[in-house]
Amino acid sequence: MLLAQENSASNFTPILMIVLLFGVMYFMMIRPQQKRRREAANMQSSLGHGDEVVTIGGLYGTVTGVDDETVLLEVAPGVETRYARPAIARVVTKAEQPAEAAVDDADAVKE
């Protein structure tokens, strides 16, 4: 009887190890990658006129126009280039809100 219990436990061990391996891979690799992808998508969707950004190629520019799929960057005075949204790596500085919008936001908070 004791021998049958040891056999069933030893047959279950490899399956348990595989499940644990997949669990560790999920929490160490897949989940952080999904979080980074979600943050990048949020950043790219919140791009606005006047934001200073860096492209994946290392080019600094200021956003002058935003389309559904593209972003127009001014890389030098009078020089504008068009990039796909996913080509924007990060936002260096956000554009400041106009004074009127800041006042409206302050009034909304008070109410």
Locate 99 and state its tokens: 């004074």
Which architecture, in CATH terms, is 48-111? Roll (2.30)
Which pLDDT belongs to residue 44? 87
**Mapping DSSP to helix (H, G, I), strand (E, B) and coil, where does residue 58 land?**
coil
Contacts of 57 (CB under 8 A, 6+ apart): 87
Tokens of 74: 């001014």
Lookup: tokens for 90 = 């990060």
Q: For the segment 87-109, what is each residue's pLDDT rounded down to a tens digit?
A: 999 998 887 765 554 444 444 44
Predicted local distance difference test score (pLDDT) of residue 5: 57
Q: Note the pTM of the prediction, 2 decimals.
A: 0.61
pLDDT at 106: 46
Average pLDDT over residues 21-30: 91
Q: What is the per-residue pLDDT for 73?
A: 95
Tokens of 64: 């002058």
Identify whether the C-beta of residue 64 lies closer than 8 Å to the C-beta of residue 52.
no
Encode pLDDT of 34-92 as tens digits.
Answer: 999 999 888 988 888 999 999 999 999 999 999 989 999 999 999 999 999 999 999 98
